[in-house]
Amino acid sequence: MRMRALITSGALLSVVVAGPALAAAASEVATFRLTAVVKTVCRLEFNGMSAPQSTDIVELGQLMQLCNSRSGYRVTMSHPANMGGATLVLGGQTIPLSNGNETVIVDENHAALRVSDAELHLNNAQAPLSSLSFRIEPKGAIF
């Protein structure tokens, strides 16, 4: 019986001691904010380009796009003019090429890492592969 009384008094003592400390902590509010700026990185790579299997379809392999710009990024394909009949199939999406020298093939509004299969369907358009180029550009502020 005596042991039980000690435990009960000990429990009451901790509640009484902890009570004011908790009340004081609850009245104080602190805010902590951590901000970091990292370098903007945008990369574009083709992996596994193979020789054309036909005169009309060129398998470009996998296109890896990486850009950490929080405002997004744009991928542009430069090509000879008057390739309006040709299309780029990127990740199952068909993108018609413009009659000019450039076509925007990806326009994202957020940072992303994407890997997509890419094929160029010439559709009787004439273009040497050496005349094709791709670039990636971040949108918004660059750090």
- Residue pLDDT, tens place only, 115-125: 999 999 998 88
Distance CA(141)–CA(51), nearest Å, equals 39
DSSP string, the chain: -HHHHHHHHHHHHHHHHHHHHHHHHHH--------------EEEEEE-----SSSSEEEEEEEEEEE--TT-EEEEEE--S--TT-EEEETTEEEEPPSSSEEEEEEESS-EEEEEEEEEE-TT----GGG-EEEEEE-S---
Structure token digits, residue 42 = 């945008």
Q: In which band, very low, low, confident or very high, does the pLDDT at 19 lie, cut at 50, 70 and 90?
A: low
As a whole number of angstroms, the longest Cα–Cα distance in the chain is: 100
pTM for this predicted structure? 0.71
- Residue pLDDT, tens place only, 58-97: 899 999 999 999 999 999 999 998 887 899 999 999 999 9
Q: Give the distance from CA 37 to its chain's centroid.
A: 17
